[in-house]
Amino acid sequence: MEYINEGIALGVDLLILGLCFKEYVNYKKSLASLKNAPQLHLESNLRSVVEKQKDKRIPYAVIRGTVMPIGAPLKSVMSPSVTGVLQVIKLSEHRVARGFAGFWSDQRKLIHVSSNEVPFVITSGKESVEILDGLSASVIDLDLVYDSYEPASLTFFDHIFGFFSGVRQKGFQTTEEILRDGSFITAIGEIELDGNTLRMQSSSVGPMFLTTATKGTLIKKFEEAKSSTLIKMFFCGTISVILISIIARKIYLKKKQERSERKLKESLEKARRERRSRARPRNLNDEQLCVVCVANPKEVIVLPCGHVCLCEDCSEKIQLNCPVCRARIETKAAAFIS
Protein backbone atom coordinates (compact mmCIF):
# COMPACT_ATOMS: atom_id res chain seq x y z
CA MET A 1 0.00 0.00 0.00
CA GLU A 2 1.52 3.24 -1.10
CA TYR A 3 -0.58 5.40 1.27
CA ILE A 4 0.14 3.45 4.47
CA ASN A 5 2.20 6.32 5.98
CA GLU A 6 -0.58 8.83 5.35
CA GLY A 7 -3.04 6.30 6.77
CA ILE A 8 -1.08 5.92 10.01
CA ALA A 9 -0.64 9.69 10.33
CA LEU A 10 -4.38 10.14 9.74
CA GLY A 11 -5.17 7.55 12.42
CA VAL A 12 -2.96 9.28 14.98
CA ASP A 13 -4.35 12.68 14.03
CA LEU A 14 -7.96 11.49 14.34
CA LEU A 15 -7.14 9.97 17.74
CA ILE A 16 -5.75 13.30 18.98
CA LEU A 17 -8.75 15.06 17.47
CA GLY A 18 -11.06 12.67 19.33
CA LEU A 19 -9.27 13.28 22.65
CA CYS A 20 -9.39 17.05 22.10
CA PHE A 21 -13.09 16.80 21.32
CA LYS A 22 -13.71 14.85 24.52
CA GLU A 23 -11.73 17.47 26.48
CA TYR A 24 -13.68 20.27 24.78
CA VAL A 25 -17.03 18.66 25.66
CA ASN A 26 -15.86 18.27 29.28
CA TYR A 27 -14.79 21.92 29.48
CA LYS A 28 -18.04 23.03 27.92
CA LYS A 29 -20.10 20.96 30.35
CA SER A 30 -18.08 22.08 33.40
CA LEU A 31 -18.29 25.68 32.24
CA ALA A 32 -22.06 25.52 31.79
CA SER A 33 -22.61 23.97 35.23
CA LEU A 34 -20.16 26.44 36.79
CA LYS A 35 -22.00 29.40 35.24
CA ASN A 36 -25.35 28.05 36.48
CA ALA A 37 -24.07 27.29 40.00
CA PRO A 38 -25.51 29.88 42.42
CA GLN A 39 -23.05 31.75 44.64
CA LEU A 40 -24.40 31.31 48.16
CA HIS A 41 -23.40 33.36 51.16
CA LEU A 42 -22.85 31.54 54.42
CA GLU A 43 -23.76 34.64 56.43
CA SER A 44 -27.16 35.22 54.80
CA ASN A 45 -28.95 32.25 56.32
CA LEU A 46 -27.74 29.49 54.03
CA ARG A 47 -29.41 26.85 56.21
CA SER A 48 -32.95 28.08 55.47
CA VAL A 49 -32.13 28.46 51.76
CA VAL A 50 -31.05 24.79 51.55
CA GLU A 51 -33.97 23.64 53.71
CA LYS A 52 -36.48 25.03 51.20
CA GLN A 53 -34.97 22.99 48.32
CA LYS A 54 -36.23 19.59 47.17
CA ASP A 55 -34.56 16.85 49.28
CA LYS A 56 -32.88 19.71 51.21
CA ARG A 57 -30.14 19.67 48.60
CA ILE A 58 -28.64 22.09 46.03
CA PRO A 59 -26.96 19.98 43.30
CA TYR A 60 -24.17 22.45 42.49
CA ALA A 61 -23.34 25.63 44.35
CA VAL A 62 -20.44 27.96 45.18
CA ILE A 63 -19.56 28.98 48.74
CA ARG A 64 -16.62 30.92 50.16
CA GLY A 65 -15.18 30.85 53.62
CA THR A 66 -12.34 29.99 55.95
CA VAL A 67 -10.99 26.46 56.38
CA MET A 68 -11.38 25.19 59.97
CA PRO A 69 -10.61 21.68 61.24
CA ILE A 70 -13.44 20.04 63.22
CA GLY A 71 -11.04 18.33 65.64
CA ALA A 72 -7.29 18.64 65.89
CA PRO A 73 -5.62 19.79 62.64
CA LEU A 74 -3.06 17.74 60.70
CA LYS A 75 0.55 18.58 61.43
CA SER A 76 2.94 18.84 58.54
CA VAL A 77 5.47 16.00 58.59
CA MET A 78 8.30 18.01 57.10
CA SER A 79 7.55 21.49 58.46
CA PRO A 80 6.02 20.86 61.92
CA SER A 81 5.05 24.51 62.43
CA VAL A 82 2.47 24.22 59.62
CA THR A 83 -0.98 22.77 60.30
CA GLY A 84 -3.81 22.01 57.90
CA VAL A 85 -6.66 19.71 56.94
CA LEU A 86 -5.56 18.02 53.70
CA GLN A 87 -2.04 16.76 53.13
CA VAL A 88 -0.37 15.14 50.11
CA ILE A 89 3.22 13.85 50.29
CA LYS A 90 4.87 12.76 47.06
CA LEU A 91 8.16 11.01 46.44
CA SER A 92 9.36 11.07 42.86
CA GLU A 93 12.47 9.86 41.11
CA HIS A 94 14.24 12.07 38.61
CA ARG A 95 16.14 10.27 35.93
CA VAL A 96 17.52 10.69 32.47
CA ALA A 97 16.44 8.06 29.98
CA ARG A 98 17.49 7.36 26.45
CA GLY A 99 14.38 7.81 24.38
CA PHE A 100 13.44 8.55 20.83
CA ALA A 101 16.34 8.44 18.36
CA GLY A 102 18.89 7.91 21.14
CA PHE A 103 18.47 11.32 22.80
CA TRP A 104 18.68 11.46 26.57
CA SER A 105 15.79 13.27 28.20
CA ASP A 106 14.80 14.15 31.76
CA GLN A 107 11.98 12.14 33.24
CA ARG A 108 10.12 12.29 36.50
CA LYS A 109 8.52 9.18 37.88
CA LEU A 110 6.13 9.26 40.80
CA ILE A 111 7.14 6.51 43.19
CA HIS A 112 4.90 7.05 46.16
CA VAL A 113 1.98 9.27 47.15
CA SER A 114 0.48 9.41 50.58
CA SER A 115 -2.45 11.60 51.48
CA ASN A 116 -4.22 12.44 54.69
CA GLU A 117 -7.25 14.42 55.69
CA VAL A 118 -9.06 15.40 58.83
CA PRO A 119 -12.73 16.47 58.96
CA PHE A 120 -13.07 20.18 58.30
CA VAL A 121 -15.58 22.91 57.61
CA ILE A 122 -15.69 26.07 55.56
CA THR A 123 -16.90 28.77 57.83
CA SER A 124 -17.97 32.38 57.61
CA GLY A 125 -19.84 34.31 60.28
CA LYS A 126 -21.78 31.84 62.44
CA GLU A 127 -22.49 29.33 59.70
CA SER A 128 -20.24 26.51 58.57
CA VAL A 129 -20.39 23.74 55.94
CA GLU A 130 -18.61 20.45 56.43
CA ILE A 131 -16.58 19.29 53.42
CA LEU A 132 -16.83 15.55 52.78
CA ASP A 133 -13.98 13.72 51.05
CA GLY A 134 -12.10 16.88 50.10
CA LEU A 135 -9.23 14.92 48.52
CA SER A 136 -11.61 13.65 45.82
CA ALA A 137 -12.08 17.20 44.48
CA SER A 138 -11.04 17.64 40.83
CA VAL A 139 -9.15 20.82 41.63
CA ILE A 140 -7.52 21.43 45.02
CA ASP A 141 -5.18 24.36 45.59
CA LEU A 142 -2.67 23.13 48.14
CA ASP A 143 0.28 25.06 49.56
CA LEU A 144 3.70 23.62 48.88
CA VAL A 145 5.27 23.54 52.36
CA TYR A 146 8.24 21.29 51.70
CA ASP A 147 10.29 20.56 48.60
CA SER A 148 13.61 18.80 48.79
CA TYR A 149 15.77 17.32 46.09
CA GLU A 150 18.56 14.89 46.84
CA PRO A 151 20.92 14.02 44.03
CA ALA A 152 21.72 10.34 43.76
CA SER A 153 25.33 9.44 44.46
CA LEU A 154 26.26 7.21 41.56
CA THR A 155 29.27 4.95 41.46
CA PHE A 156 31.36 4.35 38.37
CA PHE A 157 29.49 1.07 37.80
CA ASP A 158 26.09 2.82 38.01
CA HIS A 159 27.23 5.08 35.16
CA ILE A 160 28.35 2.12 33.07
CA PHE A 161 25.10 0.25 33.83
CA GLY A 162 23.05 3.38 33.04
CA PHE A 163 24.79 3.75 29.70
CA PHE A 164 23.78 0.26 28.63
CA SER A 165 20.31 0.11 30.21
CA GLY A 166 19.32 3.55 28.93
CA VAL A 167 18.14 4.82 32.33
CA ARG A 168 20.32 6.81 34.72
CA GLN A 169 19.11 7.89 38.14
CA LYS A 170 19.56 11.58 38.95
CA GLY A 171 17.95 12.04 42.34
CA PHE A 172 14.86 11.97 44.49
CA GLN A 173 12.39 14.74 45.18
CA THR A 174 10.09 14.84 48.18
CA THR A 175 7.27 17.36 48.30
CA GLU A 176 4.60 18.02 50.86
CA GLU A 177 1.49 20.02 50.09
CA ILE A 178 -1.11 21.10 52.60
CA LEU A 179 -4.44 22.88 52.65
CA ARG A 180 -3.73 25.12 55.63
CA ASP A 181 -6.33 25.75 58.28
CA GLY A 182 -7.36 29.37 58.29
CA SER A 183 -6.98 29.77 54.52
CA PHE A 184 -9.82 31.45 52.66
CA ILE A 185 -11.11 29.33 49.79
CA THR A 186 -13.92 28.82 47.32
CA ALA A 187 -15.66 25.44 47.51
CA ILE A 188 -17.94 24.20 44.73
CA GLY A 189 -20.04 21.04 44.94
CA GLU A 190 -23.35 19.65 46.13
CA ILE A 191 -24.73 21.17 49.34
CA GLU A 192 -27.02 19.10 51.52
CA LEU A 193 -28.70 19.66 54.86
CA ASP A 194 -28.35 16.38 56.73
CA GLY A 195 -30.17 16.61 60.04
CA ASN A 196 -28.61 19.68 61.56
CA THR A 197 -25.39 19.67 59.56
CA LEU A 198 -24.73 21.45 56.28
CA ARG A 199 -22.46 19.35 54.08
CA MET A 200 -20.72 19.75 50.77
CA GLN A 201 -19.72 16.74 48.70
CA SER A 202 -18.83 15.85 45.12
CA SER A 203 -21.67 16.54 42.71
CA SER A 204 -23.05 14.70 39.71
CA VAL A 205 -23.57 18.03 37.94
CA GLY A 206 -19.99 19.29 37.74
CA PRO A 207 -16.48 18.83 39.16
CA MET A 208 -15.81 19.59 42.81
CA PHE A 209 -13.43 22.47 43.56
CA LEU A 210 -11.48 23.57 46.62
CA THR A 211 -9.64 26.54 45.28
CA THR A 212 -8.30 29.95 46.15
CA ALA A 213 -9.70 31.31 42.89
CA THR A 214 -13.09 33.01 42.73
CA LYS A 215 -15.96 31.72 40.60
CA GLY A 216 -15.24 34.46 38.04
CA THR A 217 -11.55 33.50 37.76
CA LEU A 218 -12.45 29.84 37.40
CA ILE A 219 -14.92 30.62 34.59
CA LYS A 220 -12.25 32.69 32.86
CA LYS A 221 -9.67 29.87 33.19
CA PHE A 222 -12.11 27.31 31.83
CA GLU A 223 -13.04 29.59 28.95
CA GLU A 224 -9.36 30.00 28.06
CA ALA A 225 -8.81 26.24 28.25
CA LYS A 226 -11.91 25.69 26.11
CA SER A 227 -10.72 28.09 23.39
CA SER A 228 -7.20 26.64 23.35
CA THR A 229 -8.72 23.14 22.92
CA LEU A 230 -10.82 24.53 20.08
CA ILE A 231 -7.65 25.86 18.40
CA LYS A 232 -6.01 22.42 18.82
CA MET A 233 -9.10 20.79 17.31
CA PHE A 234 -9.04 23.18 14.36
CA PHE A 235 -5.34 22.44 13.81
CA CYS A 236 -5.88 18.64 13.96
CA GLY A 237 -8.96 18.95 11.74
CA THR A 238 -6.97 20.85 9.10
CA ILE A 239 -4.26 18.18 9.13
CA SER A 240 -6.93 15.47 8.78
CA VAL A 241 -8.46 17.23 5.77
CA ILE A 242 -5.02 17.56 4.13
CA LEU A 243 -4.19 13.88 4.78
CA ILE A 244 -7.59 12.72 3.53
CA SER A 245 -7.17 14.73 0.32
CA ILE A 246 -3.65 13.30 -0.20
CA ILE A 247 -5.00 9.74 0.21
CA ALA A 248 -8.03 10.46 -2.00
CA ARG A 249 -5.76 11.90 -4.70
CA LYS A 250 -3.49 8.84 -4.58
CA ILE A 251 -6.50 6.48 -4.85
CA TYR A 252 -7.90 8.54 -7.74
CA LEU A 253 -4.57 8.49 -9.62
CA LYS A 254 -4.21 4.74 -9.06
CA LYS A 255 -7.73 4.07 -10.37
CA LYS A 256 -7.08 6.33 -13.35
CA GLN A 257 -3.89 4.46 -14.17
CA GLU A 258 -5.64 1.09 -13.82
CA ARG A 259 -8.42 2.29 -16.13
CA SER A 260 -6.01 3.44 -18.84
CA GLU A 261 -4.00 0.19 -18.56
CA ARG A 262 -7.21 -1.81 -18.99
CA LYS A 263 -8.22 0.27 -22.02
CA LEU A 264 -4.83 -0.26 -23.62
CA LYS A 265 -5.02 -4.01 -23.02
CA GLU A 266 -8.52 -4.19 -24.47
CA SER A 267 -7.56 -2.27 -27.61
CA LEU A 268 -4.47 -4.47 -28.13
CA GLU A 269 -6.63 -7.58 -27.75
CA LYS A 270 -9.17 -6.22 -30.24
CA ALA A 271 -6.43 -5.49 -32.76
CA ARG A 272 -5.01 -9.00 -32.32
CA ARG A 273 -8.43 -10.56 -32.95
CA GLU A 274 -8.95 -8.53 -36.10
CA ARG A 275 -5.51 -9.47 -37.41
CA ARG A 276 -6.21 -13.13 -36.78
CA SER A 277 -9.65 -13.10 -38.43
CA ARG A 278 -8.12 -11.53 -41.54
CA ALA A 279 -5.52 -14.32 -41.64
CA ARG A 280 -8.09 -17.18 -41.32
CA PRO A 281 -8.82 -19.38 -44.33
CA ARG A 282 -12.28 -18.98 -45.99
CA ASN A 283 -14.66 -21.60 -47.44
CA LEU A 284 -14.25 -24.26 -44.79
CA ASN A 285 -16.69 -27.19 -44.47
CA ASP A 286 -18.64 -27.86 -41.25
CA GLU A 287 -16.11 -30.47 -40.10
CA GLN A 288 -13.40 -27.84 -39.96
CA LEU A 289 -15.43 -25.23 -38.01
CA CYS A 290 -15.38 -24.56 -34.25
CA VAL A 291 -18.23 -26.50 -32.60
CA VAL A 292 -19.25 -23.52 -30.48
CA CYS A 293 -19.44 -20.54 -32.81
CA VAL A 294 -19.53 -22.49 -36.10
CA ALA A 295 -17.83 -19.54 -37.79
CA ASN A 296 -14.09 -19.72 -37.16
CA PRO A 297 -11.82 -22.66 -37.95
CA LYS A 298 -10.82 -25.17 -35.24
CA GLU A 299 -7.58 -23.85 -33.74
CA VAL A 300 -7.25 -25.25 -30.21
CA ILE A 301 -6.78 -28.77 -28.80
CA VAL A 302 -8.35 -29.52 -25.43
CA LEU A 303 -6.34 -31.85 -23.16
CA PRO A 304 -6.32 -34.56 -21.86
CA CYS A 305 -9.34 -35.68 -23.98
CA GLY A 306 -7.59 -34.50 -27.14
CA HIS A 307 -10.56 -32.98 -28.98
CA VAL A 308 -9.64 -30.31 -31.51
CA CYS A 309 -12.96 -28.52 -31.38
CA LEU A 310 -12.57 -24.81 -30.51
CA CYS A 311 -11.45 -21.59 -32.17
CA GLU A 312 -9.14 -19.32 -30.18
CA ASP A 313 -11.92 -16.82 -29.32
CA CYS A 314 -14.24 -19.52 -27.94
CA SER A 315 -11.40 -21.28 -26.10
CA GLU A 316 -11.00 -18.14 -23.95
CA LYS A 317 -14.62 -18.43 -22.80
CA ILE A 318 -14.71 -22.21 -22.26
CA GLN A 319 -12.63 -23.18 -19.24
CA LEU A 320 -14.20 -26.18 -17.48
CA ASN A 321 -15.38 -29.01 -19.73
CA CYS A 322 -14.72 -30.11 -23.29
CA PRO A 323 -17.81 -29.14 -25.36
CA VAL A 324 -17.66 -32.49 -27.23
CA CYS A 325 -17.16 -35.11 -24.50
CA ARG A 326 -17.69 -33.05 -21.28
CA ALA A 327 -14.31 -34.25 -19.94
CA ARG A 328 -12.63 -31.85 -17.53
CA ILE A 329 -10.20 -29.49 -19.27
CA GLU A 330 -6.75 -29.51 -17.71
CA THR A 331 -4.91 -27.61 -20.37
CA LYS A 332 -5.23 -26.31 -23.93
CA ALA A 333 -2.75 -25.94 -26.76
CA ALA A 334 -2.68 -24.51 -30.24
CA ALA A 335 -3.46 -27.14 -32.88
CA PHE A 336 -2.11 -26.93 -36.40
CA ILE A 337 -4.16 -28.82 -38.94
CA SER A 338 -2.32 -29.06 -42.22
Asked if 333 is part of the footprint of Zn ion (rule: CB under 5 A), the reply reads: no
62 phi/psi in degrees, rounded to 5: -110, 130
Site residue total, Zn ion (CB under 5 A): 12
Of 292, 308, 318, 335, the one binding Zn ion (CB under 5 A) is: 292
Nearest to 297 by CA among 316, 310, 279: 310
User: Segment near Zn ion (CB under 5 A), from 128-136, 171-179, 213-221, 311-319?
Assistant: 311-319
Asked if 251 is part of the footprint of Zn ion (rule: CB under 5 A), the reply reads: no
User: Segment near Zn ion (CB under 5 A), from 29-37, 173-181, 192-200, 315-323?
Assistant: 315-323
Of 12, 15, 241, 325, the one binding Zn ion (CB under 5 A) is: 325
CB 333, min distance to Zn ion, A = 14
Of 180, 199, 298, 307, the one binding Zn ion (CB under 5 A) is: 307
Cα-trace Rg, the chain: 41
Asked if 169 contacts 152 with a C-beta cutoff of 8 angstroms, the reply is yes
Residue closer to Zn ion by CB (options 82, 314) is 314
3-state helix, strand, coil in the chain (%, to 5): 40, 35, 25
Asked if 301 is part of the footprint of Zn ion (rule: CB under 5 A), the reply reads: no
106 phi/psi in degrees, rounded to 5: -75, 140
Q: Which residues pair with 131 in a beta bridge?
A: 120, 200
Residue closer to Zn ion by CB (options 87, 296) is 296
Concatenated DSSP letters of 199-250: EEE--SSS--EEESS-HHHHHHHHHHHHHHHHHHHHHHHHHHHHHHHHHHHH
User: Segment near Zn ion (CB under 5 A), from 34-42, 201-209, 253-261, 282-290?
Assistant: 282-290
Of 68, 97, 284, 305, the one binding Zn ion (CB under 5 A) is: 305
Q: What whole-number distance in Å separates Cα of residue 147 and Cα of residue 130?
A: 30
CB 330, min distance to Zn ion, A = 11
User: Segment near Zn ion (CB under 5 A), from 80-88, 106-114, 242-250, 290-298?
Assistant: 290-298
Edge to edge, the sheet with strand 331-334 lists: 307-310, 300-303, 331-334
Of 293, 316, 328, 333, the one binding Zn ion (CB under 5 A) is: 293
Nearest to 128 by CA among 206, 209, 205, 41: 41
> Which residues contribute to the site for Zn ion (CB under 5 A)?
290, 292-293, 296, 305, 307, 311, 314, 322, 324-325, 327
